[in-house]
Amino acid sequence: MNIITVKDAQEGGHKAFEIFKDELANNAQVFGLATGSTPITLYEDLVASDLDFSHKISINLDEYVGLAPDNPQSYHYFMQQHLFNKKPFAVSYLPDGLAKDADAETARYDEVIAGNPIDLQILGIGRNGHIGFNEPGSPLAGKTHKVPLTQSTIDANARFFENGEDVPRFAYSMGIGSILTAKHILLMAYGENKADAIKAMIDGPVTTHVPASALQNHNNVTVIVDEAAASKLSNK
């Protein structure tokens, strides 16, 4: 793994932007995208740039089951607000949260990934080492699947909904095996609360208990961390 240490998320976004730009210059066609607070500084730099994605393809990691694309809590909506409205791609694939048949939807998404090999995959990491919605215990060779959300995730999301019954209980997620098919993986992490996960991912054994540790098996991974997230690494 190539580990880049930065002072904060803003600098991390700048570094990630340079990597994104280099991949474009090297004729990358397909970009795997993530949601959440971690990639926002990258997306801000992309929006502010003169880069053009109108002939490129994006494939998102995940989406909540049961949320329509125009729901403000959906990942469709997040991507529109933070990137696609200003920097549209030729095609942007996301799981369909309203799909009637989960098996058919996960099979469809696997076909999307197989038919559009990802050149650069953007990732964040959870405090427990999850990537996408692949929680501890997820198979390291898994493909797209419907994931039951942990109670802690459901509780954390409850503040965004007026009615507790509206909080999603499931999500669709690219599997770890799907993520590992990307040619280049770029993972970002900021803050002391990510330090244990980063240490386990880089210094620990490859294990289903730390899903991100599977990245040790990939030959082209770049990790951007601030000093706090890197604070527990043996070779800082």
The yes-or-no answer on residue 227 being catalytic is no
Which of 45, 105, 119, 135 is an active site residue? 135
Q: DSSP letter string over 47-75?
A: HHS----TT-EEEESEEETT--TTSTTSH
The yes-or-no answer on residue 128 being catalytic is yes
The yes-or-no answer on residue 18 being catalytic is no
- Write out the E strands in the chain: 2-6, 30-33, 57-60, 62-64, 91-93, 120-123, 145-148, 170-173, 184-189, 221-226
Q: What are the backbone angles phi and psi of residue 128, rounded to the nearest 5°?
A: -95, 10
Q: What is the CA radius of gyration of the chain?
A: 17
CB atoms within 10 A of CB 75: 24
Which of 45, 60, 62, 82 is an active site residue? 62
Which of 128, 157, 218, 227 is an active site residue? 128
Side-chain half-sphere of 227: how many Cα atoms within 13 Å? 2
Contact 170, 147 (CB under 8 A): yes
The yes-or-no answer on residue 96 being catalytic is no
Q: Which residues are catalytic?
A: 62, 128, 130, 135
